[in-house]
Amino acid sequence: MLAGPTGAVEYLSIGEGTPSTVFAHGLGGSISTTRPFASGVPGRRTFLHFRGHGASEAPETAWTYPALAGELRAVADHVDATRCLGVSMGAGAMCALLEETPDRFDRIVFVIPALIDRQRTDAALQRLVDLADLVDDRDVEGIAAHFVDEQPPELRERPVVQAWAQEQARLLSGTPVATALRALPHAVPLTDRASLSRVTAPALVIGQEGDDAHPESIAREFADVLPHAELEILPPGGVLWSHRSRVRALVSAFLSD
């Protein structure tokens, strides 16, 4: 546990040496859901739980991307991280950190980013609000069904997907993450996307087709505004399901330079 800006933050470090990379999960995610991205990445790899996730405290302060960025920064500074990978909400937290400190990292990876500086009002974000009610009601089966329904149709019956959904449902049931599910759909990571033009670090942006919650258009917009960005748009199928090996190869190659 690390003393963060508004409460204790849980983190896990594995490996040693350089580079030092911090991995930031998505909304409702966990350390375990980000660990696959670190496969093949050299040096020290550190994973955190944002507020309300895992054993990290859930302060009474508002759930905002700058607040998440403060927790990410605390862990990154603690382990002298020079690189960062953020998934969905974690990518948003990294954006908010970079808006304040554009030169904080020397390599960055954005995986299925969902927002930049404009609010979205589509049905995919409304589903997050619906999920909040299930979390508050401790409806494990309902939460699991929600996660399964979010996967591509051809994957939903796979035992590994069903088991993953059940495990994530047990972790989320009755947690303060419900507050985030209601608040973050109405928040944006950046006040102005032009701030990303000051980021000189090489960036890898990974998007995927057919993902309503993480439109490929957002990944393309990230790649357009970042000065030194590589863009990879994957076919439908899930970055950690059908394309797991491809994502691992992309990330490990990029973070091994």
pTM more than 0.85: yes
Give the whole-angstrom CA distance, residue 39 versus residue 205: 18
Mean pLDDT, contiguous 10-residue spans, the chain (257 residues): 96 96 95 93 98 92 93 98 97 97 98 90 81 96 94 89 94 93 89 95 95 92 97 88 89 94
For the chain, which residues make up each domain, given as ranges? 2-118+188-256
Strands 44-48 and 11-14: antiparallel
DSSP 241: I
CA distances from 158 to 25, 55, 60, 247 (A): 23, 29, 39, 20
Q: Going by CATH, does the domain composed of 2-118+188-256 fall within 3.40.50.1820?
A: yes
